[in-house]
């Protein structure tokens, strides 16, 4: 939307696209299966709902700006000091906070492409220059990422597992990469899907690399913990990084209903991680069914699968939509399909089975 006379708006707003959230679709039959946002298919646990209701009694009060209870629960859970934790309104809020802390015009931020859609948006908004490095196959090309670092680089984002391809880099590769990246660069390990990882060679960034002086690990309550609506994510890093990222948070960005739900979720983690295990099994069932049907599907460690379909992408998305199944289409490239409940996954597999793909 351009007005002829809006000199007060930054030029960058004319060039960056708006963030496109995953869609919901409804078939004429009334069926509506949402596999477009990598959400948990499970509703909140009763204990989490109780915590939410109790916290809601204080809606007239500002939240605890320091989120003391949640910070202490996270420190206990991950075995780190509290001063190594920063919170944000989702991990996307934390990405913006990290960029506020490190990026400015004249600096560069490096990340693989294709990766999480919010990276270009937030980097361009920060005023820094986005430097993208193509995936090799469907996976991060860590050598090329390291080579893209210059004197002007302030941060490198590594999304592990990668959204939308689901691929993950292994510990030895990541360690070698981190050894190569100079200390004037902050490496942000975006581990939004960490809990779904089953390959033991894919590292837990917090325990393996979180102590390094130029590494920050991002996690979220939106996926495995099922709190996407409440917007709460956390960062673990050395204290000087965590302190900077706490400073750049909009005051009270994580409200106390979200804080209470996150604390209750950590208390109920065993139950939530059982759900995650079910989703990880479903992921393999979905992938195996697709492979048996002749599709090419890269191995995935997240709660979604990736179909690189090029020109057929839009047609597949339309066929899915007709069946009441919302998937995430990247026009001309491919589709990302979240793993939902078994019947939801079956609805997607039906669409895939019936789709007349030329090069299958």
Residue partners of 5: CB distance under 8 A and separation at least 6: none
- 315 three-class SS: helix
Closer to ligand PMP by CB, 167 or 222: give it.
Answer: 222
* Residue 221 exposure: Cα atoms within 13 Å on the Cβ side: 29
Q: How far is the CB of 192 from ligand PMP (least distance, A)?
A: 4
Q: Are 96 and 121 in contact (CB under 8 A)?
A: no
Closer to ligand PMP by CB, 263 or 312: give it.
Answer: 263
Which H/E stretch holds residue 122? Answer: helix 118-126
Closer to ligand PMP by CB, 158 or 312: give it.
Answer: 158
Q: How far is the CB of 222 from ligand PMP (least distance, A)?
A: 3
Closer to ligand PMP by CB, 38 or 71: give it.
Answer: 38
How far is the C-alpha of 128 from the C-alpha of 290, rounded, in Å? 40
How far is the C-alpha of 10 from the C-alpha of 14, rounded, in Å? 8
Closer to ligand PMP by CB, 114 or 256: give it.
Answer: 114
Footprint on this chain of ligand PMP (rule: CB under 6 A)? 38, 90-92, 116, 159, 163, 190, 192, 220, 222, 228, 233
Q: How far is the CB of 83 from ligand PMP (least distance, A)?
A: 22
Residue 111's beta-bridge partner residues? 132, 157
Q: How far is the CB of 231 from ligand PMP (least distance, A)?
A: 7
Q: Are 116 and 140 in contact (CB under 8 A)?
A: no
Q: How far is the CB of 151 from ligand PMP (least distance, A)?
A: 27
How far is the C-alpha of 82 from the C-alpha of 207, rounded, in Å? 15
Closer to ligand PMP by CB, 40 or 345: give it.
Answer: 40
Q: Are 2 and 106 in contact (CB under 8 A)?
A: no
Q: How far is the CB of 13 from ligand PMP (least distance, A)?
A: 21
Q: How far is CA 230 from CA 90, 180, 251, 323, in A?
A: 8, 37, 16, 29
* Residue 337 exposure: Cα atoms within 13 Å on the Cβ side: 32
How far is the C-alpha of 39 from the C-alpha of 220, rounded, in Å? 12
Q: What does the angle CA 181 – CA 196 – CA 220 come to, to the nearest 5 degrees? A: 70
Closer to ligand PMP by CB, 138 or 312: give it.
Answer: 138
Closer to ligand PMP by CB, 91 or 97: give it.
Answer: 91
How far is the C-alpha of 251 from the C-alpha of 265, rounded, in Å? 23
Q: What does the angle CA 125 – CA 192 – CA 35 come to, to the nearest 5 degrees? A: 95
Cβ count near 112 (within 10 Å): 26
How far is the C-alpha of 253 from the C-alpha of 64, rounded, in Å? 10
Q: How far is the CB of 11 from ligand PMP (least distance, A)?
A: 27
Closer to ligand PMP by CB, 178 or 192: give it.
Answer: 192
Among the listed residues 240, 203, 265, 254, the one whose alpha carbon sits nearest the alpha carbon of residue 94: 254
Closer to ligand PMP by CB, 40 or 163: give it.
Answer: 163
Q: Are 77 and 266 in contact (CB under 8 A)?
A: yes
Q: How far is the CB of 168 from ligand PMP (least distance, A)?
A: 12
Q: How far is the CB of 119 from ligand PMP (least distance, A)?
A: 9
Q: How far is the CB of 160 from ligand PMP (least distance, A)?
A: 9
């Amino acid at each position: 939307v351009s007005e002829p006379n809006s000199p007060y708006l930054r030029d960058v707003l004319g060039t960056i696209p708006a963030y496109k959230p995953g869609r919901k679709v409804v078939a004429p039959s009334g069926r509506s299966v949402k596999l477009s946002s990598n959400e948990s298919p499970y509703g909140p646990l009763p204990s989490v709902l109780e915590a939410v209701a109790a916290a809601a009694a204080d809606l007239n009060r500002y939240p605890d700006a320091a989120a003391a209870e949640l910070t202490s629960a996270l420190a206990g859970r991950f075995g780190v000091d509290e001063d190594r934790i920063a919170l944000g309104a989702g991990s996307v809020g934390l990405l913006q906070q990290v960029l506020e802390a490190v990026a400015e015009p004249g600096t560069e931020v490096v990340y693989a492409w294709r990766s999480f859609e919010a990276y270009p948006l937030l980097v361009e908004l920060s005023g820094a220059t986005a430097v993208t490095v193509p995936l090799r196959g469907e996976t991060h090309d860590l050598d090329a990422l390291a080579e893209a670092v210059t004197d002007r680089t302030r941060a490198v984002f590594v999304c592990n597992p990668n959204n939308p391809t689901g691929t993950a880099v292994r510990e030895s590769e990541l360690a070698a990469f981190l050894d190569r990246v100079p200390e004037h660069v902050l490496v942000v390990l975006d581990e939004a899907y960490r809990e779904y990882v089953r390959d033991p060679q894919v590292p837990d960034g917090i325990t393996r690399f979180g102590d390094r002086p130029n590494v920050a690990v991002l996690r979220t309550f939106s996926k495995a913990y099922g709190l996407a609506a409440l917007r709460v994510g956390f960062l673990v890093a050395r204290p000087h990084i965590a302190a900077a990222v706490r400073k750049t948070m909009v005051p009270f960005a994580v409200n106390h209903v979200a804080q209470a739900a996150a604390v209750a979720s950590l208390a109920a983690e065993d139950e939530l991680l059982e759900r995650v295990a079910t989703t990880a099994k479903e992921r393999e069932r979905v992938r195996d069914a697709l492979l048996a049907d002749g599709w090419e599907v890269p191995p995935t460690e997240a709660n979604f699968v990736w179909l690189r379909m090029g020109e057929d992408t839009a047609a597949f998305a339309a066929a899915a939509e007709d069946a009441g199944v919302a998937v995430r289409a990247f026009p001309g490239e491919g589709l990302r399909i979240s793993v939902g409940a078994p019947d939801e996954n079956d609805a997607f597999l039906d669409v895939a089975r019936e789709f007349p793909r030329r090069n299958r």
